[in-house]
Amino acid sequence: MKRVGILTSGGDCPGLNSAIRGVAKTLYRRIPGAEIVGIVGGYTGLIEKDCRVMRPEDFYDILTLGGTILHTTRQRFKTMRDEDEPGHNKLDKIVRNYKELGLDCLCTLGGNGTHKTADLLASEGLNIVALPKTIDNDVWGTDETFGFHTAVELGAGIVDRVYTTAESHSRVIVVEVMGNKFGWLALATGVASGAEAIVIPEIPYHIQKINEAIVNRVNAGRAYSVVIVAEGACSAEEAGIKRKERMIKRAEEGFLTVSAKLSKEIQADTGIETRTMTPGYYLRGGSPSAYDRILTTQFGAYAAELICHDVYGVTVAKKDGIITHNRLADVAGKPKPIPLRHPLIAAARDTGISFAD
Ligand code: F6P
């Protein structure tokens, strides 16, 4: 018999419910009398002891359901040790509530912030098994995070449609996708849709290179283009400036987003009417792709197996097609930028996509 807490933390993504289902179904089958405690709203739920004992029926019919049945919040790692109320910080409360709830372990589904806190909790003696989710695909040590594949599918579907309207009007359309720190989503979406240029945080852009690609296309008879940009991308001039200062500088220039800046610069230099579109949260919502349903089922079942074998302080991963796990201590706080020699960047370049460098 085991009592397992489960929570989803940070930004949501497609596949959270199917991952929860994978964990729960496996636990009920593998451990007679297993009890699953659903913690509501991520770490906040554990701080406030907002939770309930789940029933097997709670996990029925959620394989394809978007969002998370457990809800989620962002609890900043940096504030975990800040005094929350006199004499108590969030970390103390989590540790205390974990013990009071009689949990044998805690399963945390989240991205980088979630993993950092999970590692902190493990160092405080809690038994943790984590699962890597995020449409950003930027959790270290796993080939892919769940949610990423669905977001790429949705993003590519949007860009397919954007192309037809760009062609009708002989316009450039700059599509901005999420990816605050790294450009995995922009790269995959751009390759999947055959964009003219992909602009990612890993490669600061030179506007004249983007414009060159657009003008060359016009000269070759195609008066329309689509540029995919990750929200965290910056120009070569901005590259040396700290993020906060960069945002202030951009706001002073009248730009709230990188796509707004890019489209103004493209239009000014090429004279081609340029528009922007931001799919934003659309890529985080709704049903997971078949691929993500399979991945989350594998991840969830594997996480439950780890719990059965009392393997803690780890996060589930996929490496070279094999489901495995990494130590939380090895993953927490480690960035996962796209290597500049990544084969997908090479293939994109080979097929004529500009990275504006
Ligand atoms: O899930 C991560 C992410 O997609 C980032 O790329 C983006 O900056 C962030 O979510 C925005 O999420 P929220 O507005 O929910 O904080």
At 185 the pLDDT is 98
Amino acid at 210: I
- Cα angle: 274, vertex 277, 278; to 5 degrees: 145
Mean per-residue pLDDT over the chain, rounded = 97
Q: State the DSSP code for 135.
A: T
Q: Is the CB–ligand 1 distance for residue 208 below 6 Å?
A: no
**Percent residues over pLDDT 90 in the chain:** 98
DSSP assigned state of 357: -
With cut-offs at 50, 70 and 90, classify the pLDDT of residue 49: very high
Shortest-distance Cα residue to atom 10 of ligand 1: 11
8 Å CB contact between 84 and 93: yes
Q: Is 11 in the pocket of ligand 1 (CB under 6 A)?
A: yes
136 catalytic? Reply is: yes
Query: Would the CB of 136 count as within 6 Å of ligand 1?
Result: yes
Scanning 133-183, the segments in alpha helix (DSSP H) are: 148-169
Cβ 135 under 6 angstroms from ligand 1: yes
Number of helices and strands in the chain (H, E): 12, 13
Instruction: Report CA(121)–ligand 1 centroid distance (Å).
Output: 23
Q: Which of 12, 119, 136, 292 is catalytic?
A: 136
- Which of helix, strand or coil describes residue 116? helix
Give the pLDDT score at 85.
80
Place of tokens 């000014």: 268
Give the separation between CA 72 and CA 317, rounded to whole angstroms. Answer: 22
Q: d(Cα 282, Cα 290) in Å, to the nearest integer?
A: 18
Provide the pLDDT confidence category of residue 52 given band limits of 50, 70 and 90: very high
Of 112, 180, 187, the one to substitute when testing ligand 1's pocket (max ligand atoms within 8 A of C-beta) is 180
Q: pLDDT tens for residues 251-300?
A: 999 999 999 999 999 999 999 999 999 999 999 999 999 999 999 999 99
In ligand 1, the atom with minimum distance to the C-alpha of 74 is 16
Q: Residue whose CA is closest, atom 12 of ligand 1?
A: 11
- CA dihedral sign, ordered 189, 190, 195, 198: positive
> How many Å apart are CA 105 and CA 5, to the nearest integer?
6
Q: Is the per-residue pLDDT at 87 higher than 90?
A: no
The Cα diameter of the chain in Å comes to 70
pLDDT of 233 above 90 = yes
Strands (E), the chain: 3-8, 35-39, 51-53, 83-85, 88-89, 105-110, 128-132, 172-177, 197-199, 225-230, 274-277, 314-319, 322-327
Tokens at 273, concatenated: 């009417």
Report how far residue 107's alpha carbon sits from residue 300's, in angstroms, rounded to the nearest whole number.
10
Read off the pLDDT of residues 97-143 as tens digits, 9 standing for 90 and up: 999 999 999 999 999 999 999 999 999 999 999 999 999 999 999 99
Total residue count of the chain as it appears in this document: 357
pLDDT band at 332 (very low <50, low <70, confident <90, very high): very high
Instruction: Give nearest CA residue, ligand 1 atom 11.
Output: 11
Q: Is 197 in the pocket of ligand 1 (CB under 6 A)?
A: no
Report pLDDT digits (tens) over 140-181.
999 999 999 999 999 999 999 999 999 999 999 999 999 999
d(CA 214, CA 157): 22
Check if the beta carbon of residue 50 is closer than 8 Å to that of residue 5. Answer: no
What pLDDT is attached to residue 83?
84
pLDDT of residue 277: 98
Alpha carbon of residue 255 to chain centroid: 24
- Looking at the predicted structure, is the pLDDT value of residue 28 above 90? yes
Strands 314-319 and 322-327: antiparallel
- Ligand 1 centroid to 93 CA: how many Å? 26
- 86 is written with which tokens? 């006199």
To test the pocket of ligand 1, the residue of 75, 136, 152 to mutate (highest count of ligand atoms within 8 Å of its CB) is: 136
Partners of 319 in beta bridges:
322
